[in-house]
Amino acid sequence: MQDLWNFALELYARPGVEQACLELQEAGSDVCLLLTGAWLQQRGVRCLEERLRALTEVAAPWQREVISPLRQTRRHWRRAAGEDAELAALREQIKKLELQAERVLLERLQTVAESWPGEAGRDDWLIRLAENDSAALQVLRGAVNSP
């Protein structure tokens, strides 16, 4: 079984997925949850309400208290970093911390979900985890379902 982090990296590298994830994030979706859902969907794990709740209980506080503040700072510094090399270097460090925080979250989500059995059927985790059924979600869904 491929771990969630490496699955996420491979999926993110597919054509259109990075942009789709950024659009979904801007629309309010938790991309780490969507990537986890894609991983579970590919493994044939059933999407049950208690499983969704378990994932959200892990992700929500980490997103709110760790990832979101890093992302907000990085975005806030975007314009000024274009004119200040030292600030640009600090912004890059924050970007790396944000990515590391996302990796930690994916590892925590994997720990919660890795024992869930694969079963017959292909539940649609993505539609349950997304804030809306957008074109960006369709791009992500297509990338998950392609070989």
Q: Which residue has the higher pLDDT, 80 or 123?
A: 80
Residue for token pair 């979900």:
113
What pLDDT is stored for residue 145 in this prediction? 82
How far is it, in rounded angstroms, from Cα 77 to Cα 92?
Answer: 10
Cα Rg for the chain, rounded, in angstroms?
16
Whole-prediction pTM value? 0.92
Distances (CA, A) of 121 to 12, 40, 89, 130: 24, 12, 48, 20
For position 124, what pLDDT does the model report?
86
Is residue 46 within 8 A of residue 52, CB to CB? The reply is no
Read off the pLDDT of residues 10-62 as tens digits, 9 standing for 90 and up: 999 999 999 999 999 988 899 999 999 999 999 999 999 999 999 999 999 99
The answer to whether 44 and 140 have CB atoms below 8 angstroms apart is: no
Integer Cα distance of 33 and 59 in angstroms: 7
User: What digits encode the pLDDT tens for the residues 71-109?
Assistant: 999 999 999 999 999 999 999 999 999 999 999 999 999
